Amino acid sequence: MSSPVSPDHTPPTRHEQQAPREQDRRGGVVERLGLNWRLHGDGRHVAPGDVVTPRERLAWPRTISIGTQHVVAMFGATFLVPLLTGFPPATTLFFSGIGTVLFLVVTAGRVPSYLGSSFAFIAPITASVNQYGPGGALGGVIMAGAALFLIGVIVQIAGTEWLQKLMPPAVTGTIVALIGFNLAPSAKQNFTAAPVTALVTLGSIILISVLFRGLLGRLSILLGVAIGYVTAVIRGEVDFTSIQAAWDEQGVFGLPQFHSPEFHLNLAGLFIPVILVLVAENIGHVKSVALMTGDDLDPYMGRAIISDGLATMIAGSGGGSGTTTYAENIGVMAATRVYSTAAYWVAALVAILLSVLPVFGAAVATVPQGVLGGAATVLYGMIGMLGVRIWVQNRVDFSNPVNLTTAAIAMIVGIGDYTWSVAGLDFAGIALGTAAALVVYHLMAAIARARGSVGSDPLTPDSSQSPSPLG
């Protein structure tokens, strides 16, 4: 005779048996997406010397506040690229938010980053728009994104050592420098269109960057553009009719303006060299975050490059500019000591929300040439000087003819915007300058090693203790 089943030992139903498995699956998805943040301390304070790691978060009100700061930090630079290239600002902002979400998902929430507009795309976009219109430029952006994606896959599998051999500091610095300085004529054209407004904008950026500390100092470009814009309004240089038109046609909410790409193979040589800058920026970003948080992020280096490549391809497919990790947001993290990827989810969602406000996008598009010229003068120069900084930080020895000749030839080709047409394909200054840097360096280095004709290895840093006679 069997004993009755106790109420405390009732066999679980099928639904009850499946519930833990469903919870495990949901937990696994959350883990893979990097959405399982731990609360840091009490969620309100960060102790001196402590940091909020990427997998942690503060209380949501504070996280939302910091995420909004990230939007402000990236805003000026991200919007300046479409203004300079003629792309719709709201569309670029929309795809920057989408790209940031993609980056956070692919890196499993391990690498905090905002993917904003890359300045490296300004020159090739400007040149290709003049030849093939916006569609051709977008096709070039997609080609660059695809190449960057492939580089990321190789880095994820094989590491970064092969990149360091292909692009030593003498080459990398040269390519970054020539991309920035190649843009000088564009900056001059906008500056001379309204020199007074441009000078006010440039002067404001300079003064704000040295007068203020912390976040205000890092927002010098955004604030300088705002001051220049007010100056342009006073001088009657701003046309507000597009704002009213956006309100009348779309109201409060509306999708940004999308545009389909066109593909022209001869633009590949113009756009693909840009990926060398993007690779350097992504690697530098991941290493900077790792240094500040103490995390080993090398396993995510390839993922970061892959996601930037995907984000760039998606942006190009709909009318946005190519993306990259943003140093401006590194500054916000350093100031707040909050590296939580939760804040970047907030930033991405806020950016997407702003992009579907037609009046907001129309207002940004009214920024006049003079303001752009003033901001571009310093921004383009900064891009060029980033290349010089690579030389300095790696102590590139320019007494070695290999390094000196590489930089000399490639810089002149890039700045002078040399062009070459062959078999129906057109190659301009950036593509030719990049090719010159790679070919001249590796050819000269190989001959020098074989002949022993120039002394030291070009990779050996300059160990001279004598200061330059120029100070």
* Residues 190-211, mean pLDDT to the nearest whole number: 90
Decide if pLDDT at 17 tops 70: no
* Residues 200-226, mean pLDDT to the nearest whole number: 81
Mean residue pLDDT of the chain comes to 82
Q: How distant, in Å, are the alpha carbons of 28, 36, 401 from that of 431?
A: 45, 44, 23
Task: Give me the pLDDT at residue 2, please.
Answer: 43
pLDDT 10s digits, 374-424: 888 887 787 788 788 888 888 888 888 889 999 999 999 988 888 887 766
Alpha helix ranges (H) inside 51-168 = 60-85, 89-106, 122-158, 161-166
| H or E element, residue 115 | strand 115-117
Task: Give me the pLDDT at residue 152, please.
Answer: 94
Distance, in Å, from the CA atom of 369 to the CA atom of 215, rounded to the nearest integer, reads 27
Q: Ramachandran region of residue 355, left (φ > 0), alpha (ψ -120 to 50) or beta?
A: alpha
Task: Give me the pLDDT at residue 18, please.
Answer: 56
Task: Give me the pLDDT at residue 9, please.
Answer: 52
Q: Which of 16-20, 80-84, 312-316, 433-437 has the lowest mean pLDDT?
A: 16-20
pLDDT 10s digits, 57-115: 989 988 898 888 788 777 767 887 888 888 888 899 999 999 999 999 999 889 999 99
Task: Give me the pLDDT at residue 327, please.
Answer: 67
Decide if pLDDT at 1 tops 50: no
Name the pLDDT band for 468 (thresholds 50, 70, 90): very low
What are the residue boundaries of the structural domains of the chain, listed by start?
A: 56-394
Decide if pLDDT at 465 tops 50: no
**Which has the closest alpha carbon to 280: 174, 382, 182?**
174
Q: Is the pLDDT higher at 142 or at 130?
A: 142
**Which has the closest alpha carbon to 270: 383, 416, 118, 427?**
427
> Which phi and psi angles does 56 have, rounded to 5°?
-115, 170
Percent of the chain with pLDDT over 90: 27
Q: Are 190 and 369 in contact (CB under 8 A)?
A: yes
**Which has the closest alpha carbon to 349: 80, 30, 37, 99?**
99
pTM over 0.85: no
- Name the amino acid, one letter, at 307: S
pLDDT 10s digits, 277-299: 788 778 878 887 887 788 888 88
Task: Give me the pLDDT at residue 238, please.
Answer: 85
Task: Give me the pLDDT at residue 307, please.
Answer: 95
* Residues 445-470, mean pLDDT to the nearest whole number: 64
Decide if pLDDT at 469 tops 50: no
DSSP structural state of residue 338: B
> Which phi and psi angles does 262 have, rounded to 5°?
-130, 150
* Residues 330-344, mean pLDDT to the nearest whole number: 83
Q: How distant, in Å, are the alpha carbons of 189, 262, 263 from that of 132?
A: 21, 9, 10
Task: Give me the pLDDT at residue 325, please.
Answer: 87
Q: ∠358-346-53 over CA atoms, to 5°?
A: 155
Task: Give me the pLDDT at residue 337, please.
Answer: 81
Decide if pLDDT at 461 tops 70: no
Decide if pLDDT at 5 tops 60: no
pLDDT 10s digits, 216-230: 766 677 788 889 999
Q: Is the pLDDT higher at 425 or at 358?
A: 358
Decide if pLDDT at 471 tops 50: no
